[in-house]
A and B are shown apart, each in its own frame.
Chain A
Amino acid sequence: MLSVILAAVLSPDDPDLIARLKEKNHEAIGEVYDRYGKLAYSVTLRITRNQQTAEDLVQEVFLRVWNRAHKFDSSRGSLGMWILCIARNVAIDHLRSTATRIARRQSTETDLEKLCFHDDFVSRISIMQQMKAVRAAAANLNANQRSVLELAYFEGLTHSEIAERLNQPLGTIKTWVRTALISIRSEMTQAASR
């Protein structure tokens, strides 16, 4: 089932759909939801672990997409990745504002928005391939390596925060992150050369 969704979600952007979205054509947002709603929901649900909150956040995500579509630059990344990035940011923001450890990294939160636009590098490689590569690599990771990556991606935690969460020395966490990334990078390099 995953591959079906990924294929639907990560098929190349339809320039006409993006143009209509930028013109605030209300049918376009329905099409965008049909393509990316499932992925946005999955990410917000995984991050917040609460169905009601995930629904609220998906609404917020698509409102942002609607209000900021004019800023979307398809030469710098795909619509799907942009929406996913917004979904992740919205959900992590929510997590941070409900937890007590709020404001500490507020400045980086606005910077996160910048990183929603990738480089042309990302659009040249198929994102479908990237997701597949990450999934393939994740299958070879041990539980510790997998959980540190999940904490970084789904909760935005830093090395030291992960160390605190998992009650492990900082050096150990750094090693787990490094070895996990090496494994994923090599899987990606192989995927790209296949």
Chain B
Amino acid sequence: MTHEEMNDLYELYALGAIEPEEAGEIEAHLREGCPECQDMLRRALAVTAGFPALGGIVDPPPHLRDRVIGSIERLRTSASTAWRIAYIALAASIALLAWSLTSYRTLRSDRTQLARLESEHTRLEILIQLLTNPETRTAQASTNENAPLGRVFLGRDNRFVFVGSRLPAINATQTFELWLVPAKGAPRPAGLFRGEDSHAVCLSSAPVDLENTAAIAVSIEPRSGSNAPTTTPFVIVPLS
């Protein structure tokens, strides 16, 4: 295309009303930094900004305001309630672990129980360390109304905690499985959990390669877990 031909297309380009080949050619040219065409694009954006005036202005029905505000209000309260419950679940599991720690000191006879409590003690320490460390980052799945919620706390030591809420129901033969989803390639398993009353707090089974992980996902799997997801993940938390 010549400059003149491109000049004719900037408004349509700004409206996305252009053939992909033409758009590609224009973008390539703009990337070369041609100042004249940068100006053309700016002018085109200004021109198209006035285009809604081509149509008429119509009063929306009065009930639409309540409907719009209501939907946002529901989203707001349901998300905050869900998170409140998720944090209560988190607090509850920490309390439970703390209680088992106390028991750990009084129960010394049963060796298997002792071993279990010891591992829970370690888990609790890691969990508290991770959640209280100011360098811990968080990431969250986008929240659609009534969709499952997922938040991930990413520790500096490459461990993470997944806090889930509004999780789907699973039966006795199923489990939730965490997946590390790389930018390219197959998801890798990162631990199993079951949760309670649609909430769950789960610490990653071991330090993981967060550097090369684009997202953390959760799917429903057979009770013993899978090596690759067998169902579509219902929560995907992008780590960007």
Contact = CB atoms under 8 A, between A and B. Distances in A.
Contacts, number: 166
A134 B53 contact: yes
B16 A134 contact: no
A130 B53 CA distance: 9
Contacts of A54: 60
B19 A111 contact: no
A131 B61 CA distance: 24
A43 B75 CA distance: 25
A41 B19 contact: no
A134 B72 contact: no
Interface in B32-70: 42-43, 45-61, 64-65, 67-69
Nearest to B58: A42
A134 B68 CA distance: 30
Interface in A8-50: 24, 26, 29-30, 33-34, 37-39, 41-43, 45-46
A184 B8 CA distance: 12
B67 A55 contact: yes
B50 A130 contact: yes
A128 to B, nearest CB: 9
Interface residues on A, range: 35 or more
B42 A119 contact: yes
Interface of B: 8, 11-12, 14-20, 23, 42-43, 45-61, 64-65, 67-69, 71-73, 75-76, 142-143
B53 A131 contact: yes
A193 B92 CA distance: 67
Contact of B60 (A1, A37, A133, A150): A37
A150 B48 CA distance: 11
Nearest to B12: A152
A46 B64 CA distance: 17
B6 to A, nearest CB: 12
A22 to B, nearest CB: 14
Given A37-B68, A59-B67, A153-B51, A122 B45 contact: yes
Contacts of B11: 152, 181
A41 B8 contact: no
Contacts of B8: 174, 177-178, 181
Interface string A80-122: 0100100010001000000000000101110110010011011
B76 A184 contact: no
Given A119-B45, A121-B43, A156-B15, 16 more contacts: A2-B53, A37-B64, A37-B65, A42-B52, A42-B57, A46-B58, A55-B60, A59-B67, A67-B143, A108-B16, A115-B16, A121-B45, A153-B52, A156-B16, A158-B19, A181-B11
Contact of A121 (B12, B46, B72): B46
Contacts of B59: 38, 41
A145 B52 CA distance: 16
Contacts of A79: none
Contacts of B71: 59, 62-63
B55 A150 contact: yes
Nearest to B11: A181
B17 A62 contact: no
A100 to B, nearest CB: 18
A153 B16 contact: no
